[in-house]
Structure 1
């Protein structure tokens, strides 16, 4: 014996209503996540043209990574800070840690690009997109009721002192833009996961 169609339809409506009314992330959280995801995509698209504009040294490419020992050693000597590690949100890696690390990594790259853009052209749009991305991450923090500091504010800004000639500037630009692209891939994965996340508010 099967249920009459009207009852099946009613059940469907009730289920849909229950799902819509389920306590989940506030709209502002989801909007901030979506806005940030879009910006990360824009930054990833913007890295190759910025690289082409800024890095002109012979033999440097964004793809594939340059296998060059001298370049590797020079990069190490510049002490460019690595961004914070991002992991999927879990009991051991709570939302506030995740979002704070996202903000920290974006600020770090803002600082590094601020130093480089004093020496190179072609980086202004990436800087503007990073600034917008940080604003979205701050909205996300607000929406998820996360308090916290921005511990990366000054990290990376001492790079200036180590840029002794135009070649080291090129090496730094290569390293920073390669690192930024890799960090944005991590951000993209994190935002994809956060789009399905429901903070307990």
Structure 2
């Protein structure tokens, strides 16, 4: 295979990859305010990751932030701690509207979980305040892009309170909620990075 053929094939592959990763749909007409808000949200998301570490250190003694076992994951399901909404690369099958809807649903879900947990321990106030601010930023993304993202059917109800009757369960619930939130925030920040640098 000659050099020019290799170069042409590389260009084709790079272009195909760019097309698959580029936002689609209404993203092509996003105003600058959308990208600015996404950048602000990403900065806040990075602060939240630090808040998570601080909150875990202040409230959880039984586990390190990186502790993860299959038995803990089984307890998450039995205690009614739902999984985070899945965020994917924007595509024809995962539109900007779907993405923003899942971001909203996830942040609201963790707000609800932390509200329950804060009735049992102190040390979650900063994290809760930053999640409220993050929710405002995502709502602004929704408004600026004129999306109709609906989260009413995406936020599963939880009966976590009934499982917080002893200190061990409280520790488990705190640990699982904070580690899942950390993972979700990493996904959020990756998404914000794409949105904040996108140029139609």
TM-score band, normalised by the shorter chain?
Answer: 0.7 to 0.9
Query: Cα deviations across residues 38-88 of structure 1 (Å, max 9, x unaligned)?
Result: 11000011111100111122xx1012x234x54344333212101110001
In the aligned structure 2, how far is the partner of 1:105 from the partner of 1:82? 9
Structure 1 residues 152 and 181 mapped into 2: Cα distance closer, same or farther (>3 Å)?
A: farther
Equivalence map 1:78-117=2 (5 Å)? 78-117=79-118
Check if 1:62 corresponds to 2:65: yes
Runs of 4+ aligned structure 1 residues displaced above 4 Å come to none
Which of the numbers 24, 36, 39 marks the counterpart of 1:31?
A: 36
**1:80–1:156 Cα contact (<8 Å) kept:** no
Q: What TM-score do the two structures reach when normalised by structure 1?
A: 0.79
Match among 40, 48, 57 for residue 52 of structure 1: 57
Q: CA RMSD in A?
A: 1.9
1:128-187 C-alpha deviation (Å, 9 max, x unpaired): 000000000000000111013232686355211222211101100000000000000000
Pick closer, same or farther for the CA change 1:32–1:74 going to 2, 3 Å: same
5+ residue gaps, structure 1:
1-22
Question: In terms of Rg, which structure is larger?
Answer: 1
- Closer/same/farther in 2, CA of residues 71 and 98 from structure 1, 3 Å limit: closer
Give the TM-score, by structure 2 length: 0.80
Taking the aligned partners of 1:118 and 1:49, their CA distance within structure 2 comes to 18
Which structure 2 residue ranges, 5 or more long, are not aligned?
Answer: 1-27
Aligned length: 173
Where does residue 42 of structure 1 map in the other structure? 47
Question: Aligned equivalents of 1:178 and 1:111: distance in 2?
Answer: 16
